[in-house]
Amino acid sequence: MQTDVERALQLKRVAVVGLSKDPAKAAHSVPRYLQHHGYKIYPVNPYGGEELLGEKVYGSIAEVEEPVDLVVIFRPSAEALPVVKQALTRDDVRGIWLQEGITSSEAEELVREKGLLYVEDRCMFKEHRRLTR
C-alpha cells in the first residue's frame, strides 16, 4: 500500500504557497526541481511579482484558476493553518504538503477529516529523489 508521500508525489498540479524569488532558498529551488520533473507549478506569493519560474504568480490559493491537485506550503508553522483552511475551500485539492520543518496538528486534523492526503515536515525534493532513483 502506498504512503501519503508516495501518493502525493503522483499529484502533478501543484500550488506552491510561499514560492520565493530568491534562487538560494528551498522555496525557490524545490519548485524549480519539481517543474523540471513534470510538475505544473502555480506560484502563490502576494509579494512575488507577476511571474516566478516562468509562471503567473497568484496572491492566494483561491485566485488560481487552473485545477490544483496538491498544495505545498513554504511558510512558518504558525502560518500553515490559515493557508490550509483556504486550500480546503477548493473542491479540487487532493492533498496538502507542509515542507520540511513545518508542522501543524490543527491543519493535519482538518485535512484528515476531509479525507485528503497530508504530509508534513518532509521535503518534496528529497522525497522525490529518494523514491524515483
In 25-40, which positions are buried (b, 16+ CB within 10 angstroms) versus exposed (e)? ebbbebbbebbeeebe
* Nearest to 29, CA basis, from 72, 80, 79, 59: 72
- Domains of the chain with CATH codes: 4-131 (3.40.50.720)
What pLDDT score was predicted for residue 46? Answer: 85
What pLDDT score was predicted for residue 19? Answer: 96
What pLDDT score was predicted for residue 47? Answer: 85
* Nearest to 13, CA basis, from 88, 74, 66: 66
Give the residues of the chain that fall short of pLDDT 50: none
pLDDT digits 0-9 by tens, 76-95:
999 999 999 999 999 999 99
Grid cell 496572491 is found at 59
Question: What is the distance between the terminal CA atoms of the chain, rounded to a whole angstrom?
Answer: 19
What pLDDT score was predicted for residue 90? Answer: 97
Distance between alpha carbon 116 and the CA centroid of its chain, in Å?
A: 14
